[in-house]
Structure 1
């Protein structure tokens, strides 16, 4: 392991009355080892033969480079942003249930692919999400739904990654797509829809059109992306964002006024009125799409990498 690498061994949760606010000048993404690399073979050993056999397998294969995982292209693009940023920086942190001993193969693979990842938490079987706030993370991506839920409870944007069934065409621009309610915004309006129906939802949105929605779990992450975008003109920004929502007129007005009140730029807004999102995400060319509902995530993953956000009334 290189001398530049540090392994976090201690950390503490925020006090209950303190809101977590990450640094806006540094975009920090936490990624699980199983999202960054394809660890299916070793994970199968763990499931079928147990922890001891898994540890021995990793040590015996630590010189074998791991295949790229679902999040690898996204991480590569994120880190490449540093080549053109002046006032901001992007950092990727590795969080893993491995011990430092069994995690050596992971760092060997990181070095093989020349990924500038120097910080990690190898948690020896314990939950790695505990360190997302200590590292100052804006986003946590994992393949473990429980870790994702726990990170969301810590106040950090988090999603369970689903693999895209079709490869995405290569592009230098990094494209994020977000659902609205329960992702960028709170689930306050979605709760009305779920409990009282479409008509009550529409009436509420008309009456509250000029009242900004409360921020959802991905508001701070979107704000960090917007902060990076502010270094560039509209025509040459390395990041592009899109809102892809089932909302339609007249409920669109409140969304537009909310983003305006936040002072956050969204490059594209798609109000689909209940139409399936998948084909629009393919046309947009999303690197990753975040949604709170499994049905939308499963459909979207036919075309693009998708992050399920287990937040809000749809996940209760």
Structure 2
């Protein structure tokens, strides 16, 4: 049975205004086994967690009453980690991670937790979890090895416009719209320079017209890009090395 526990050490966000991001526990904390230290090691999503908190700190510094903030949930689907819930909670506290709620569930019902908590974006290192969440209409992305090398002081989001605009499943469009509009509003809180949040858009196929259409579509949905790249069939690896995104929305093969 799924259960959600609020973190009493973290001020809860405004549920109507926050951008809710759920991250799999296995991506944030390494499995320490049944024995050993009381604190888990950090996983590939640790820089992502720090970057999310960096954005929140800058938003609150500019406006103490700010309600458009990242609201982070940690989702645990592994049975052993569910038994070690106290270790999971104490580990996040040890590393100073601002997790608002902890969702402990099984692989078969974790999506219900995402829906119940009105999650805008789910991130995991497990392809099966990403697929299951996407099928239920939760905007999801696969975290890959590049997350380790992403900066911790600036959140970097990469949108693969070819897939997002042209081939997104019909049931994921409302979720994507909510995410894009809130992310766009959040990015708009900062100036052009020295922003803790950067949004990049890439089209891998097609020419100038398709590239322009993709940018116009995203803009109509409330999101402007800091950088935009039209690869027109060029290799995609170099752009990932340059941008170093924390996560990519679109073609999951990019995240491997």
* TM-score, length basis structure 1: 0.66
Shift of the 293–134 alpha-carbon distance from structure 1 to 2, 3 Å rule, reads closer
Counterpart of 2:74 in structure 1 is: 94
Which TM-score applies when normalising by structure 2? 0.80
Q: For residue 124 of structure 2, what is the aligned residue in structure 1?
A: 142
Aligned partners of 1:259, 1:233: CA distance in 2, in Å?
19
The answer for unaligned runs of 5 or more in structure 1 is: 7-22, 43-56, 189-213, 299-316
Q: Distance in 2 between matches of 1:253 and 1:159?
A: 24
- In the TM superposition, what are the counterparts of 1:1-316 in structure 2 within 5 Å? 4=8, 25-39=17-31, 42=33, 57=34, 60-61=35-36, 63-85=37-59, 86=63, 87=66, 88-97=68-77, 98=79, 100-123=82-105, 126-164=108-146, 167-168=148-149, 170=151, 172-183=153-164, 185-187=165-167, 215=173, 218-247=176-205, 248-294=207-253, 296-298=254-256
Secondary structure in structure 2 of the residue aligned to 1:250: helix
2: CA distance between counterparts of 1:226 and 1:261? 11
Deviation at residue 169 of structure 1 after TM alignment: 6.3
Structure richer in helix, relative to its length: 2
Q: By how many angstroms is 1:65 displaced?
A: 1.6
Distance in 1 separating the partners of 2:25 and 2:118? 18
User: Whole-Å Cα distance in 1 between the matches of residues 73 and 19 of structure 2?
Assistant: 11
In structure 2, relative to structure 1, the CA distance for the partners of 1:82 and 1:252 (3 Å cut) is closer
Q: In the TM superposition, what whole-angstrom CA distance separates every residue of 1:215-274 from its partner, at most 9, and x where no partner exists? A: 586443232211111212222322110111213223223213312332321111101001
Structure with higher RCO (Cα < 8 A, 6+ apart):
2
Q: Is the 8 A contact 2:185 2:222 kept in 1?
A: no
Unaligned runs of 5+ in 2: none
Whole-angstrom CA distance in 1 between matches of 2:229 and 2:223: 16
C-alpha RMSD of matched pairs (Å) = 3.0
Distance 1:228 1:101, change over 3 A: same
